[in-house]
Amino acid sequence: MSNHANETSYFCAKRSCLRWILIATMLISLSGCRIWDMAAFQWKNENAKIAWQSEGKNADKEFVNKSITQTVVPFTMLNNHILVNITLNKTTPLTFVLDSGAAATVITETDKTNVLNLSTNKPITIGGAGSGKAPTAYIVSDAHIQLGGFSIADLSVIYAPTSAMPFRSVDETYFDGVLGADFFNCCLVEINHDAKTLIITKPDDNSRAHYRTEQWQEIAMPVENNTPYFTTTLHDKKKLKTVKLMLDTGSTGTLSLFAENDRFALPDKTFVATSTGIQGDSANLVGLLTHFSFGNTTFDHLPTYFRFEGSNSQDGSDGVVGNQILKRFNTVFDFSTERMWYQPSKQFTSFIGTNRSGLRLLPHSRGAIVLDVAEDTGAFAAKIPINSIITEFEGKPVTYANFDKLKMVLSHPKKETVPLCWEFQKQKHCSELQLDSRI
């Protein structure tokens, strides 16, 4: 995946005081997935057919006006991605990621989608975060996607094989596709983390009135090239700055700042980390940002990725706000009026930590696969091999359902050790893993 020696040389040259640390945490990011032939693609999808099963039948009980066209569907979280169940072409049940930063709807290569024999006769170049070459994907026409009581028909989507995704194999690809801008452009999309539901509503004055109350805060959200942004302030080590940031539910991190050319002053203490996007790996330094504002909410000492390579800066933006921030709010995206509403969720006061183990993990059907191990960390001392599978933590099997809890445990500021078991080359090993602060 990445060339560790080259990454280390780069940072040692830039910051001679840095210790040689390999890779920290995985940040699988579909951030700002781009299609270079976007104009023709968007023109085709403007004629896609939106349909609702009934008027108000599935309406949320909090809405007073039952004539609102709406559907409510549950979601789950995995690796800080929002996963929803959809039906493709009226027959095939699949699991998609809800991604506000993706400019199109995407079908990924998995065991489920391989049996569909999707067409590969319309190649197209796509792009995203990462410092590698923009990969090739394929246009698939006339798709039908059903989500609860809502559907989009005659939709052109992108089929992205594993080579065009931030995964090494089909076995590591834990979702079948991505719901992108086609979905957000048509509707009001409420992500309710308290109820673990998506509330999808036809946008009009009646539906918007529900959010124009004192229970919700409102911010401007310009949508440029099918991607939502907002303007805010942050304070790096030196001064207060105004920045333009992408609002990206497809990013699993906190805040990533595009730090090339010394755009931001770095914290005194950082460690090297790699994040992975559509175009491969990006090189980052991770440290605590002094101050960051999201609407009327302030985050102090926020763990932040300062990205030096592979930024894929779009529309003059300065960075990306990911789901580790966004999940602390129930949010409503309204692409049509370029507004967002938000309110604190039950996760608002939960800690925001950084990886204290040195393990870079990804969900796997048998647990959590180890992609990298950082030197001078507990995982390195425990001799956990790359490509091993973490099968147990704190005496419990690792599953998709508790993968996010595992990552929280490995970053918890009050934990000193975590019992782990892993498998490598058909042999099982267990150890008490030491956790240490790295910033």
Residue 422 sits in a domain of what CATH number?
Answer: 2.30.42.10
Alpha-carbon gap, residue 420 to 382, rounded angstroms: 10
Residue 314 has pLDDT above 50, yes or no: yes
The tens digit of pLDDT for each residue in 241-295 reads 999 999 999 999 999 999 988 899 999 999 988 777 666 677 889 999 999 999 9
Give the number of residues written for the chain: 439
- The whole-number pLDDT of residue 168 equals 83
What's the distance, CA 264 to chain centroid?
23
Q: Which of 13, 242, 30, 37 is nearest to 125 (CA)?
A: 37
What pLDDT is attached to residue 78?
96
Q: Which residue has the tokens 């992500």?
A: 191
Mark whether 78 and 127 lie in a shared domain: yes
- CA angle, residues 123, 127, 131, in degrees to nearest 5: 130
- Identify the three-state secondary structure at position 403: helix
- Give yes or no for residue 229 having a pLDDT over 60: yes
pLDDT, average across residues 327-347: 97
Measured CA to CA in angstroms, residue 216 lies from 38, 61, 296, 341, 422 at distances of 34, 17, 11, 6, 45
**Residue 270 CB: number of other CB atoms within 10 A?**
22
271-277 vs 329-334, strand pairing mode: unpaired
84/100 same-domain check? yes
Most confident of 29-43, 55-69, 108-122, 414-428: 414-428
Residue 90 has pLDDT above 70, yes or no: yes
- When pLDDT is averaged across residues 286-312 and rounded to a whole number, the result is 89
What is the residue-averaged pLDDT of the chain? 85
Domain end among 163, 192, 214: 214
Of the candidates 418, 439, 438, which has an alpha carbon nearest to the alpha carbon of residue 430? 418
Provide the pairing of β-strand 255-258 with 297-309: parallel
Q: Are residues 22 and 93 in the same domain?
A: no
Given this model, what pLDDT does residue 18 score? 30
What pLDDT, on a 0 to 100 scale, did the predictor assign at position 166? 77
Q: Cα separation of 366 and 388, whole Å?
A: 11
Is 204 inside a domain boundary? Answer: yes
Looking at the fold, whether 330 and 228 belong to one and the same domain comes out as yes
Half-sphere exposure in the Cβ direction for 46 (13 Å, CA): 7
Which domain, by its residues, includes 364?
359-434
Pairing of strands 389-393, 123-127: unpaired
* Nearest-5° Cα angle at 91, 86 to 96: 20
Residue 285 and residue 228: Cα distance in Å, rounded? 25
pLDDT at 119: 86
User: 131 and 277: one domain?
Assistant: no
- 315 pLDDT band, cuts 50/70/90, is low
Residue 256 is assigned to a structural domain of this protein? yes
The reply to whether 202 falls in a domain is yes
Residue 130 resides in a domain: yes
pLDDT at 385: 96
Residue 439 lies in a domain: no
Domain-ending residue, one of 190, 214, 238: 214
Identify the three-state secondary structure at position 329.
strand
Confidence category of residue 23, pLDDT binned at 50, 70, 90 = very low
Region 37-42 average pLDDT: 56
Mean per-residue pLDDT for 330-341?
Answer: 98
For the cut 60, the answer to whether the pLDDT of residue 26 exceeds it is no
CA atoms within 13 A on the CB side of 50: 14
* 25 has pLDDT over 90: no
The pair of three-digit structure tokens given for residue 389, joined into one six-digit string: 């599978």
pLDDT over 70 (residue 326): yes
The residue from 293, 316, 344 where one domain ends is 344
- Please provide the DSSP assignment of 19-86 as one string: ---------BB-TT-EETTHHHHHHHHTTPEEEESSSSTT--TT-S-TTS-EEEEE-EEETTEEEEEE
Kindly state the percentage of the chain with pLDDT values over 70: 83
* pLDDT digit string, tens, across residues 398-408: 999 999 999 99
| Domain match, 230 and 173 both | no
pLDDT band, residue 225 (cuts 50/70/90):
confident
Least confident span in 11-15, 51-55, 183-187: 11-15
pLDDT > 90 fraction of the chain, expressed in percent and rounded: 63
Are both 50 and 137 inside the same structural domain? yes
pLDDT greater than 70 at residue 56: no
Looking at the structure, tell me whether residues 326 and 402 fall in a common domain.
Answer: no
What total number of domains does the chain contain? Answer: 3
Please determine, for residue 310, whether its predicted confidence score (pLDDT) is greater than 70.
Answer: no
Q: Are residues 144 and 70 in the same domain?
A: yes
Give the model confidence (pLDDT) of 197-216 as tens digits. Answer: 999 999 999 999 999 999 99
Tokens of 319: 């960075």
Residue type, 425: Q
Q: What pLDDT, in 10s, does the model give residues 126-147?
A: 766 555 677 788 989 899 999 9
Q: Is residue 353, in this structure, part of any structural domain at all?
A: no
Cα 89 to the center of its chain, rounded Å: 26
- Number of Cβ within 10 Å of residue 291's Cβ equals 15
- 82/250 Cα distance (integer angstroms): 8
Helix (H, G, I), strand (E, B) or coil at 214: coil
Alpha-carbon torsion (194, 196, 197, 203), positive or negative:
positive
- Return the minimum-mean-pLDDT range out of 53-67, 300-314, 364-378: 53-67
Contact indicator for 52, 149 with CB cutoff of 8 Å:
yes
229 and 283 fall within a common domain: yes
Identify whether the C-beta of residue 250 lies closer than 8 Å to the C-beta of residue 327: no
In a domain, 369, yes or no: yes
Nearest-angstrom CA–CA distance, 342 and 331 = 4
Q: 40-66 burial, b if ≥16 CB within 10 A, otherwise e?
A: ebbeebeebeeebeeeeebbbeebeee
Give me the CATH number covering residue 251: 2.40.70.10
Examine residue 352 and state whether it is found in any structural domain, yes or no. no
Same domain, 401 and 329: no
Average confidence (pLDDT) over 65-88: 89
How many Cβ atoms are within 10 Å of 247's Cβ, its own excluded?
23
Q: Which residues contact 78 (CB under 8 A, 6 or more apart)?
A: 174, 175, 363, 400, 403, 404
Mean pLDDT, range 165-188, rounded to an integer = 90
Looking at the predicted structure, is the pLDDT value of residue 35 above 80?
Answer: no
Looking at per-residue confidence, does 196 or 350 come out higher? 196
Amino acid making up residue 106: V
Whether residues 62 and 193 fall in one domain: yes
